[in-house]
Amino acid sequence: MKATIQINNQYIEVDFSKPLDISIPLQASAKNPLAWYQNAPAIEPVKMGDWTGKVSEGASVNFNNVFFNPHAHGTHTECLGHISEECYSVNDALKTFFFLAEVISVQPESVGEDEIISKESIVKALNGKTPEAIIIRTLPNNSEKKSKHWSDTNWPFLHENAALFLREIGVKHLLIDLPSVDKERDEGKLLAHKAFWNYPENPRHYCTITELIYVPDSIADGSYLLNLQIASFHNDASPSKPVLYKIENL
């Protein structure tokens, strides 16, 4: 289903019958990605007395409870409320859902025992572009990211200056294939989160960070239309489903 739409005073052509899903689905399995020292999520039928909410066990419907943590168990989108003393909801922060986005691939740089995504690597990959949303694919890239257990791995992270640069060029939505834009153990500094959201000086309430995505190699670097879908959670973060569409008239 091809369509021409106007976004940010620009007309673009996309084929909505060809979505590129870059989310990682949540599953009650060891194959589910894990972070922040959490166990696997659970999806279990409700049990009330001698009744079990499972068709194969005699119920008329499947009726499951789902136990998970948005930050630890899969693709999620978070708002300023993730790091603020005040309570802010991602459902209030994200009011529109289509954005012009740029997919970039970056190789983290080794600095001591850390791997850092530098401002310089972001500047080079963007090559002068200033998108509303940026999707960062870290290299090397492999499908193991979809089931990796990240706790105690000291994953690569976004340097504070890189996050500041993204804020300065007007990026509103930052997506990355790691459990956090910040270092796993950083003594609570959260430098990249704070730089991107400009917190606490002048907080950007309408901006979001999406983590634990997966961008397969079949998706080339370049410009896309992003549909950033979230569940309607009144919480600092929600499980989310970012979907890309190739822009066909570029």
CATH value at residue 164: 3.50.30.50
Q: Is residue 216 part of a domain?
A: yes
Burial of 70 (0-12, 13-18, 19+ CB in 10 A): buried
Give the distance, in angstroms, between the CA of residue 83 and the centroid of all CA atoms in the same chain.
Answer: 16
- pLDDT at position 3: 87
Structurally, the chain folds into a number of domains equal to: 1
Structure pTM? 0.97
Q: Is residue 189 part of a domain?
A: yes
- pLDDT at position 250: 74
pLDDT lower than 70: segments of the chain: none
- pLDDT at position 8: 87
- pLDDT at position 129: 97
Domain that holds residue 122: 2-26+71-246
Q: Is residue 82 part of a domain?
A: yes
- pLDDT at position 130: 97
Q: Is residue 235 part of a domain?
A: yes
**Helices marked H in 37-136:** 90-93, 119-126
Q: Is residue 57 part of a domain?
A: no
pLDDT (tens digit, 9 = 90+) per residue, 20-30? 999 999 999 98
